[in-house]
Structure 1
Amino acid sequence: MKKIIYGLFFGDSITYGEYDGVFGGWVDILKRYALQQFHEGNGDELILFNLGIGGETTEGLLKRIPHELSARNSADGNIVFLSYGANDLAVKEGAQIVDPEKFKSNMSAAIAHAKEFSNEIYLVSILPFSEKIDGVVVSSGKKRINEDVVIYNQMLKDLAAEHSLGYIDFYAAFLEDKEILLSADGVHPNEKGYGMMAEVAIPIIEKYL
């Protein structure tokens, strides 16, 4: 009897796949891959839900994660991906939208919610920003700093280690070629960048197929 496993991807516009008019972002590439594998008769059915919301921070995540998890709960098991930080660390009007301590506490609360529904939880790193916007106030009034990315990613790594969770290091995959893999806004990946993210993530979802 084949299992039906749900994969729930929580995150912001990078999870949603913003600015990728070709593939629809990394999660959508994974969705198509999982469906193709199932149709070819390879393993269990893995149904992936893209739950990314543009501009969302961990504050927004906490408001919806209990409802989203209970609404999409497979009896055969769930995999939960939490991909946050790029909006939390942004500086607006002189202060970070969600400061490091609050970010850590919000992520800890989100992990606790996820554990009620899943033993398979992954924290996803924040991507580096392009040099051209590093420390620059952009038209949205937000400023993002690469040094903050390192700080927030370290918190995510520490939480993953503390709770024995998976950690997906897109940051390391992007760092060297970030100017080629990021779109013109310097924050979101372009099609090539989203493709690279999917390449990193496919071996992870293959474990559940």
Structure 2
Amino acid sequence: MKKMIYGLFFGDSITYGEYDGVFGGWVDILKRYALQKYNEGEGNELILFNLGIGGETTESLVKRIPHEMAARNSAEGNVVFIGYGANDLAIKNGIQMVNPENFKTNILTAIQHAKQYSKDIYLISILPFSKKVDGVVVASGKLRTNEEVVIYNQILKDIATENSLIYIDFYSAFLQDKEIVLSADGVHPNERGYGMMAEIAIPIIEKYLEF
């Protein structure tokens, strides 16, 4: 029997797909892929919701996730993806937007909300930054460092291990070629980077397409 499964992607502008004028970002690529498979009659109907908001931190995530999950859940199964940190770790006017301790608390809170609707929860790594913005105050007034990315990603990895969740490691995939797969702003992927993310994520969503 075919099922209708919902995939909910929570995150910031990298989830939203900012700076990708070609594909609309990695979640949109996955959305089209899932629809194509369904139209070919090859599996379950997997409906993907891109719930990424530019500039968002985990502070906002914990406020909206209960409402978003309640509004969009399938009785036949839900898959939740949580991708945060690039804004949380940023320093603005000398203050870190969300410090590591609060970041951990917020992610754990979000997981508790997600668990009410889903047993399949994925934590997404933060991407490395280009060397031109690493430790530099950019136009938005934010300062980010790759050193902090490593610290926050470790928090995500530890949470995934301790809660039997799956950690999607986009960070390692980007690390070597980051200057090629990041856009001109040094923070967001370009079309090639988003394409790489989708390639890594396709085998994950494949599991839910099979019946």
Q: What TM-score, normalized to structure 1? A: 0.99
Residue equivalent to 1:9: 9
Counterpart Cα distance in 2 of 1:42 and 1:90: 43
Counterpart Cα distance in 2 of 1:157 and 1:42: 33
Find the residue that maps to 1:43 and give its secondary structure. coil
Deviation per CA, 1:46-66: give whole Å up to 9, x if none: 000000000000001011000
1:39 aligns with 2:39: yes
Find the residue that maps to 1:187 and give its secondary structure. coil
CA RMSD of aligned residues (A): 0.4
Residue equivalent to 2:143: 143
Q: How does 1:56-205 map to 2 (within 5 A)?
A: 56-205=56-205
Residue equivalent to 2:30: 30
Q: CA deviation at 1:43?
A: 1.1
Counterpart Cα distance in 2 of 1:101 and 1:203: 32
1:49 aligns with 2:49: yes
Counterpart Cα distance in 2 of 1:80 and 1:153: 18
Counterpart Cα distance in 1 of 2:37 and 2:185: 34
Deviation per CA, 1:61-115: give whole Å up to 9, x if none: 0110000001001000000000000000000111210000000000000000000
Counterpart Cα distance in 1 of 2:79 and 2:50: 12
Counterpart Cα distance in 2 of 1:25 and 1:7: 16
Q: CA deviation at 1:181?
A: 0.2
Counterpart Cα distance in 2 of 1:146 and 1:56: 19
Counterpart Cα distance in 2 of 1:152 and 1:9: 19
Q: Which amino acid aligns with 1:159?
A: I
Q: CA deviation at 1:195?
A: 0.2
Q: Which amino acid aligns with 1:110?
A: A
- How many pairs align? 209
Counterpart Cα distance in 1 of 2:187 and 2:7: 25
Counterpart Cα distance in 2 of 1:152 and 1:96: 12
Counterpart Cα distance in 2 of 1:116 and 1:96: 31
Find the residue that maps to 2:102 and give its secondary structure. helix
Q: Which amino acid aligns with 1:181?
A: V
- Percent identity over the alignment? 78
Counterpart Cα distance in 2 of 1:37 and 1:173: 26
Q: CA deviation at 1:119?
A: 0.2
Counterpart Cα distance in 1 of 2:81 and 2:31: 14
Deviation per CA, 1:23-61: give whole Å up to 9, x if none: 000000000000000011111110000000000000010
1:207 aligns with 2:184: no
Counterpart Cα distance in 2 of 1:173 and 1:96: 26
Q: Which amino acid aligns with 1:57?
A: T
Deviation per CA, 1:164-186: give whole Å up to 9, x if none: 00110000000000000000000
Counterpart Cα distance in 2 of 1:15 and 1:68: 16
